[in-house]
Structures are given as C-alpha cells and as structure tokens.
Amino acid sequence: MRETSVSAGDLIFPIFVSETATAPEAIASMPGQFRLPLSHVGKIAKQVETLDIGGLLIFGVPAHKDDTGSGAYDSNGIVQNAVREAKSACPDLVIATDVCLCAYMDHGHCGVLKGSEIDNDRTLDILAQTAISHARAGADVVGPSSVMDFQVRAVRQGLDQSGFDQTAIMAYSAKFASAFYGPFRDASDSSPSFGDRASYQHDFGNLRHARREILADEAEGADLLMVKPGIAYLDVVHEARSISNLPIVAYNVSGEYSMLKAASERGWLDERKVVLETLIAFKRAGADLIITYHALEAAKWLKDN
C-alpha cells in the first residue's frame, strides 16, 4: 500500500572537482566525500551511470580566485574541464553544473562587489558567460545558484543567443540563507570573507517570499525549480509542487548529509534506514528529483531492496 517510491533515477550526485588535487582529498566535515582530481571524474561518472543515478552535478574548486570570478567562465576552467571528462566517459549521462561565483571570488561572495555591497546587475552578465562556457563544454543542465535577481532570465538569454537553446536551467529558486551549508563551504573553500549571504539568499522565515521567487523563475524561463536546503524545508517543497507544474528538485544539502553521517558513525542512527526514509519524505512532499551526497550509497541500497 506504499503510495510513494524512490529510485536511483530520481537522484543527482553532487561532486567537487579540484584544480589542485592530485589524488582524492577527503573532506573532513563530509565523511565519504572527496575533492576529486580531474583524472577521477570519468571513473565517478561511470559509477553514477552504472548505478542508474539520474545525473551528476559538478562543483569546481579552482586554484585561483580574483575579484571578477574569472575562473568561473574560463573555457579551460575546472568545471569546464570536468564536464568534458565526464561527457567523454559517459556521453549519455546527464551532466549538470553549478553556476555561481563564490568559489572563484577572492572575497567569497556570490556576486561582484560595489564597495561592500553586491552589485546584482553587474553580476548577471558574468553568470550568463559562466553558463555559456559550461554549455559549450557539454553540460546538459546549468544551475544558477548565486540568487541574484533575474539570474534565470540572464542565463536563458545568454544561452539562447549563443546557440544553446537546448541547455536546460535548473534554477536555485528558493535558496535560503542557511547554516546547513557549512560543510559545503569547507569543501569548496567558498565562505564569504566578511558579512554573510543574507542580502541575496532568502530569509528562512519567509514562505511567501519563496513562492514569489519560484513563480519569478518559472516566468524567466527555468526548466526545473529547486528548493534548498531540503529536510527542514519540506513545506517549501510542497508549496513549490502545488504552485508550479515544472519538475521540482530538492537539495539535500551538505549539513543534512553530515548530520546523518555523524549520528550513524556513532551508532545513534541506522544510516541506511534514515537515508531511505528521508528520500521518501522528499518524494512525498512533492520533489521529482533529489540532489544528495548519499546518492551512490542510496542507489546501492535501493538495488539490494
């Protein structure tokens, strides 16, 4: 009588690819996750494909940072090279990228600065150039995540004008300013050097605001809408499902992964059971797809079920 199911194809596996790593570097705050060298990307892509996981989401950890985030749109940048590696190993695997600037900026913010403030409109063109460079490398899906106003419109226009009208946009539509991103920022060395992201990411107390952002992204041309974080935000996932007919993606973020890992390592939780229960909860709330660092393990568990 189970009303809801989850399968490996509903999952997307996020990976960190580092320009400086020569071997996989363990991420201390995310047990089981690594900063991978380029040479390992093909192997991971094959694993993801063999397990029938829906796709791969690539984050870059660049060697250099500056005040325009130039590494983000460099045709020879870490994400662009990682996409090419993944695509040459697995031409049919869906490859998605994160389109943001924080890991490429010397100040760690997601946009260019004007004094100590973020310059929303000057950031839009850089995001579009970044998305175009990912599409040119072979990305199927780009995920604008800097939470600038009109980022989806800018990326859609940029892609279309460059001939990438078939590249899909997975919009980080309801992305809250959350403490659950802590381990991710260790992994990608992307913490802001001053202040926080509250002037662009959303206030976690606001559901109506999230609704506005979801509808705006849909109108700007998003193909998939994302809610992030996940576990503490299932009401927002449900809301997104009920106000839009686009596919809804829930991001089961780093801090959520790490808390289940930590408790499981201590023997306080049964990891397999809590992870599968959590994935079902995302689906029950209305998510079509789930981005999760547990994807490889969960896909194996689902196969054994």
Please answer whether residues 141 and 80 qualify as being in contact, where contact means their C-beta atoms are separated by less than 8 angstroms.
no
CB of 2 to ligand PBG, least distance (A): 28
CA pair distance 252, 283, nearest whole angstrom: 12
Q: How far is the CB of 60 from ligand PBG (least distance, A)?
A: 11
175: annotated active-site residue: yes
Q: What is the DSSP letter of 288?
A: S
- Residue 102 binds to ligand PBG (criterion: CB under 6 A): yes
**For ligand PBG, the closer CB: 167 or 292:** 292
Q: Is 184 in the site for ligand PBG (CB under 6 A)?
A: yes
100 forms part of the interface with ligand PBG (CB under 6 A): yes
Helices 78-89 and 41-50: angle between axes, nearest 10 degrees: 50
Tell me: does residue 16 bind ligand PBG (CB under 6 A): no
Nearer to ligand PBG, 168 or 253 (CB): 253
- Number of Cβ within 10 Å of residue 276's Cβ equals 17
Among the listed residues 33, 129, 130, 145, the single contact to ligand PBG using CB under 6 A: 145
- As measured in angstroms, the least distance from the Cβ of 121 to ligand PBG is 18
Task: Please report the sign of the dihedral spanned by the C-alpha atoms of residue 289, residue 290, residue 293, residue 298.
Answer: negative
Rounded to the nearest whole angstrom, what is the least distance from the CB of residue 81 to ligand PBG in the complex?
19
Whether residue 43 lies in the annotated active site: no
| Candidates 65, 87, 228, 283; catalytic one | 228
Count CA within 13 A, CB hemisphere, residue 3.
Answer: 6
Catalytic residue among 175, 273, 300, 303: 175
> Shortest distance, CB of residue 110 to ligand PBG, whole angstroms?
5
Alpha-carbon span 299 to 305, nearest angstrom:
10
Element (H, E) at 252: strand 248-252
254 is a contact residue toward ligand PBG (CB under 6 A): yes
> CA-to-CA distance for 111 and 126, rounded, in angstroms?
9
Instruction: Using alpha carbons, select from 180, 73, 195, 79 the residue that is nearest to residue 139.
Output: 79
Gap between the Cα atoms of 89 and 194, Å rounded: 40
Interacting stretch for ligand PBG, rule CB under 6 A, among 45-53, 180-188, 219-227, 281-289?
Answer: 180-188
- 68 or 243: CB nearest ligand PBG: 68
Per CB under 6 A, residues contacting ligand PBG are 98, 100, 102, 110, 145, 181, 184-185, 197, 253-254
Q: Which residues are catalytic?
A: 175, 228
